[in-house]
Structure 1
Amino acid sequence: MTRPSAPQDSPRPVGCRRCADQAPLPFEFSMAFQPIVEAAEHRIFGYEALVRGTDGSGAYSILQQVTEDNRYTFDQTCRIKAVELAARLQLQGYLSINFLPNAVYQPAACIRATLDAAQRVGFPTERILFEVTESEQLTDRTHLKNILLEYQRQGFKTAIDDFGAGYSGLGLLAEFQPDIIKLDMELIRGLHNDAARFAIVEGIVGICRKLDIQIIAEGIEHVDEYAALKALGISLFQGYLFARPAYETLPVPQWPLA
């Protein structure tokens, strides 16, 4: 018996078509790494992979070349490059990777390249942390929640980056509880001399403690900021005070005396 052919008007799912029909990126890039530290214990928690041009240019020059047509390929390439470099550099602790939620069509399918890369180079998937920026322009907030839930189900850690900088704030936290939030640097800049900023961060710390969410204070540049945040009970830090990002290298952090 002849099998009936599929109807001509039944389109292939958009996500599958885009995943399969991607052209090569028209630009090259690599990664720099910046440590995330448990400063009081002089311990490295992990490293964040940060996009950089192969000519030494910053992330902005690369991101300006990302379009709707190449967003998926760029996002997938970022993940694979980060994992491959982390394995080559023998990175210990967590590898933090930023991802673009609008480039993820089907969460379970679009994670396969990351899993394959990690298996190929021998990097443990349980040490991968996926960050999404709170201020990312989302076309579907429910879709973001589904992505993060799927990543947690797969055993990855999840984080909301630049928390306090976007439009959603605590509303996003009410809908989804990530493993980690990263406090936006503008929120903590000079908080040791700013009662309002100090009170806001103190409140966020209390909320996260009740929800069992870790906090990373990023963009730390001054010892006074670090001391104030440590006094609030924050233990994870990232910023120039400890180390600047280094191209395709794992920089060794400095440890402030405060």
Structure 2
Amino acid sequence: MACTGCEIIPVPVYAGTLVLAPNLPHTRKKMVRMLASEGFDYQHLEGDNLGIALEDRGEALMACLSAVMSPTEQEACRSVVVRDPRDFALAQLSQIRPLRALISLADSAWLLELMRQERILVHYQPIMSVSDATVPVAYECLARGRSETGELIPPGKLFGAAREADLLHHLDRLTRVAAIEQAGQHGLRTPLFINFNPTSIYDPAYCLATTINAAHRSSLPSSNFVFEVVESDAIQSPDHLLGILSVYREAGFPVALDDLGAGYGSLNLLSRLRPDYVKLDMELIRNVDSDRYKANLVQGIIRAVKDNGGKVIAEGIETEAEWHWVRDSGIDLVQGYYFARPAAPPPMMERLPAHHRA
């Protein structure tokens, strides 16, 4: 059963009453002054809460609240839209969220429309074997958005807006499915590394159903889909991540840990997760050929990964000197701008320079 909460794109609600619960008296005073000066219809509710009639001024209200409150105040202020604050029901508890999420949702009309129209373009970056770096043996799938006029929207803006508006679980699911479906359109038969953010997955048994079904609809074996944990250093619950990886593995998919070495968290996860693949953070690879400390650290990580039965991927290789060091280090797979940039259609083997052969 798929997760309808991930599949149904939300719509900002500007009908009824917005109930706000500011956590500090001075924040409440600022809000009241703004509401009075801007002519909003508001009322004082029990418990120092405020009720504001939305009518046709919902977008204007969000803009004014954003202007008068700091991001910290917006995050601390609870909010919910109700038909009548006197008839608040327990069923509406699940709809309470930080005011900052409502403001970000109002600012993200472009993102909501992009997701509704599924304007996602996936670029594919080749991953090569160290023994022959002229032939892609896999691809990493990297999502971009497309504006209404066709311009690319970089992932930082795309996922940053989704995170601010509490839409990350919607966008993450959409990009995972797009990576699988567009790879089929390109005729790719090699393994695909598909990123996922574990904080976007609430209950893996439900939230991953659409992704797993998309993979099963393809003509590729499950072993060709490698699901790659991103932003692992921000993980607060390793047990939750282990639950996600268990669902993927039970469905026959290998898993990868991205950006190992970016922080203590990812290094600490290695022994618990025991991923099939580990990607070294590009900052570890940068100038590794001339930095003895980095070189020793990378060698230690390589040994740890291989002792746990995993393969090591060096990403972010940009220079010939980095490539030569990595080639002789015991690392299994490589990717980076030195070989090929992410692109759509995917860069194929005949386009890669022959001098990358080991």
TM range (shorter): 0.7 to 0.9
The alignment yields a C-alpha RMSD, in angstroms, of 2.1
Query: Deviation of residue 166 (structure 1)?
Result: 2.2
Aligned to 1:161: 258
Query: 2-side partners of 1:240 and 1:219: how far apart?
Result: 7
Query: 1-side partners of 2:218 and 2:332: how far apart?
Result: 31
Aligned to 1:106: 203
Query: 2-side partners of 1:182 and 1:120: how far apart?
Result: 28
Aligned to 1:245: 342
- Residues 1:90 and 1:211: Cα distance change in structure 2 (over 3 Å): same
Query: Deviation of residue 140 (structure 1)?
Result: 2.1
Aligned to 1:26: 113
Aligned to 2:138: 46
The one-character-per-residue Cα deviations of 1:23-74 (angstroms, maximum 9, x if unpaired) are 3733233211101111422432211111112212321121122135322211
> Does the 8 Å contact 2:315/2:336 carry over to 1?
yes
Runs of 4+ in 1 over 6 A off after TM superposition: none
- Residues 1:257 and 1:22: Cα distance change in structure 2 (over 3 Å): closer
Q: Give the number of equivalent residue pairs.
A: 243
What amino acid is the match of 2:345? Answer: T
> Does the 8 Å contact 1:134/1:166 carry over to 2?
no
Of 189-198 and 65-74, more deviation after overlay is shown by 65-74
- Residues 1:53 and 1:18: Cα distance change in structure 2 (over 3 Å): closer
- Does structure 1 residue 140 correspond to structure 2 residue 227? no
Of 132-141 and 164-173, more deviation after overlay is shown by 132-141
Aligned to 1:221: 318
- Secondary structure at the aligned position of 1:65 is classed as helix
The one-character-per-residue Cα deviations of 1:195-226 (angstroms, maximum 9, x if unpaired) are 10010011111112211110000000111111
What amino acid is the match of 1:63? Answer: F
Aligned to 2:82: none
- Secondary structure at the aligned position of 1:32 is classed as strand
Query: 1-side partners of 2:230 and 2:178: how far apart?
Result: 20
Q: 2:180 aligns with which of 72, 79, 83?
A: 83
Identity of aligned residues (%): 36
Query: Deviation of residue 104 (structure 1)?
Result: 1.1
- Does structure 1 residue 175 correspond to structure 2 residue 276? no
Of 57-66 and 91-100, more deviation after overlay is shown by 57-66
What amino acid is the match of 2:141? Answer: A
Flag the structure with more relative contact order, 1 or 2, with Cα contacts below 8 A and sequence separation at least 6. 1
What amino acid is the match of 1:33? Answer: Y
Aligned to 1:116: 213
Query: 2-side partners of 1:206 and 1:32: how far apart?
Result: 32
- Does structure 1 residue 194 correspond to structure 2 residue 291? yes
- Secondary structure at the aligned position of 1:26 is classed as helix
> Does the 8 Å contact 2:194/2:225 carry over to 1?
yes
More helix by share: 2
- Secondary structure at the aligned position of 1:52 is classed as strand
**Gapped runs of 5+ residues in structure 2?**
12-111
- Secondary structure at the aligned position of 1:66 is classed as helix
Q: 2:194 aligns with which of 97, 104, 115?
A: 97
Query: Deviation of residue 228 (structure 1)?
Result: 0.8
The one-character-per-residue Cα deviations of 1:64-111 (angstroms, maximum 9, x if unpaired) are 221353222111101110011011111121111111111112212222
> Does the 8 Å contact 2:130/2:327 carry over to 1?
no
- Secondary structure at the aligned position of 2:162 is classed as coil
Q: Structure 2 length as normaliser, TM-score?
A: 0.63
- Does structure 1 residue 210 correspond to structure 2 residue 294? no
| Larger-gyration structure (1/2) | 2
Q: Structure 1 length as normaliser, TM-score?
A: 0.86
- Secondary structure at the aligned position of 2:313 is classed as strand
> Does the 8 Å contact 2:130/2:331 carry over to 1?
no
Query: Deviation of residue 139 (structure 1)?
Result: 3.7
Query: Deviation of residue 183 (structure 1)?
Result: 0.3
Query: Deviation of residue 227 (structure 1)?
Result: 1.2
Query: Deviation of residue 126 (structure 1)?
Result: 2.0
The one-character-per-residue Cα deviations of 1:89-137 (angstroms, maximum 9, x if unpaired) are 1112111111111111221222211122223343432210111125452
